[in-house]
Amino acid sequence: MPPLLELRDVRAGYGGITALHGVDISVGAGQVVALLGPNGAGKTTTQKVAAGVHPADAGRLLYGGRDVTGIASRDAASAGICLIPEGRGVFPNLTVRENLWMMTFTGKSREEVEELAFSRFQILKERASQTAGTLSGGEQQMLALTRGLVTDPAVLLLDELSMGLAPLVVEKLYEQVAQIARDGVAVLVVEQFASAVLDMADHAAVLVRGRVEYDGPPGRSLRNELANLYLGSA
Decide if residue 14 touches ligand ATP (CB under 6 A): yes
Decide if residue 43 touches ligand ATP (CB under 6 A): yes
Strands 211-216 and 203-208: antiparallel
Instruction: State in angstroms the smallest separation of the CB of 52 from ligand ATP.
Output: 15
> What letter would DSSP give residue 93?
T
Give pairs for 115-123: CB < 8 Å, separation 24+.
116/146, 116/149, 116/150, 117/143, 117/146, 117/147, 117/150, 120/145, 120/146, 120/149, 120/176, 120/179, 121/146, 121/176
Decide if residue 162 touches ligand ATP (CB under 6 A): no
Decide if residue 161 touches ligand ATP (CB under 6 A): no
> How many other C-beta atoms are found inside a 10 Å radius of the C-beta of residue 126?
12
Give pairs for 216-223: CB < 8 Å, separation 24+.
218/34, 222/198, 223/194, 223/195, 223/198
Residues 192 and 38: beta-carbon distance below 8 Å? yes
Instruction: State in angstroms the smallest separation of the CB of 161 from ligand ATP.
Output: 13
Stretch that binds ligand ATP, among 43-51, 68-76, 137-145, 193-201 (CB under 6 A): 43-51
Residues pairing with 6 in the sheet: 26, 62
Stretch that binds ligand ATP, among 35-43, 77-85, 96-104, 109-117 (CB under 6 A): 35-43
**Nearest to residue 167, comparing CAs of 133, 137, 135, 134?**
137
Q: How far is CA 59 from CA 81, 201, 215, in A?
A: 19, 26, 18
Q: Which of 10, 41 has the CB closer to ligand ATP?
A: 41
Decide if residue 129 touches ligand ATP (CB under 6 A): no
Decide if residue 89 touches ligand ATP (CB under 6 A): no
Stretch that binds ligand ATP, among 12-20, 21-29, 60-68, 221-229 (CB under 6 A): 12-20
Decide if residue 234 touches ligand ATP (CB under 6 A): no
Cα within 13 Å of Cα(122), Cβ side: 1
Instruction: State in angstroms the smallest separation of the CB of 48 from ligand ATP.
Output: 7
Decide if residue 37 touches ligand ATP (CB under 6 A): yes
Query: For ligand ATP, which residue of 4, 5, 32, 41 counts as binding (CB under 6 A)?
Result: 41
Stretch that binds ligand ATP, among 33-41, 55-63, 125-133, 197-205 (CB under 6 A): 33-41
Decide if residue 192 touches ligand ATP (CB under 6 A): yes
Binding-site ranges for ligand ATP (CB under 6 A): 14, 17, 19, 37, 39-45, 192
